[in-house]
Amino acid sequence: MKDMIKHKGYFGSVHYNSDDRIFYGKIEFIRALVSYEGQDADSLEAAFHEAVDDYLATCAELGREPEKPFKGSFNVRIAPELHERVMIAATQHGMTLNRFVAETLNQAVAH
């Protein structure tokens, strides 16, 4: 996972600003803006962990459900012609469209 760190199911970006000589990032894949910074890799990772923990604590204090990075569903907009071809392929394989897309994506990202 290049340029990403993970803590408690949340992912953080890793960037470097050479002008300020500082590492920085934000929690990715959620709408809330939660950022952090550090002087080196160790302090950046510690700041990320603290940012995640603070985000979760703040949500709990406010009685809000924290955003989850991945819910297991997403919308994909494609051309009607591709939609038709994919639906026909799924049917020919005896699968639902969801299952066909999930299996195709799984194959595409398999290492």
Average pLDDT over the chain reads 96
DSSP letter for 63, please.
T
55 and 8 both lie in a single domain: yes
Of 43 and 71, the one with more pLDDT? 43
**74 domain residue, yes or no:** no
- Note the pLDDT tens digit of each residue in 15-46: 999 999 999 999 999 999 999 999 999 999 99
Contact between 11 and 5 (Cβ < 8 Å): yes
What is the residue type of 83?
H
Ramachandran category for residue 63: left, alpha or beta (phi over 0 → left; psi -120 to 50 → alpha): left
Q: Is residue 27 part of a domain?
A: yes
Residues in the chain: 111
pLDDT greater than 70 at residue 1: no
Residues 88 and 58 in one domain: no
Residue from 17, 33, 36 nearest 25 by CA: 36
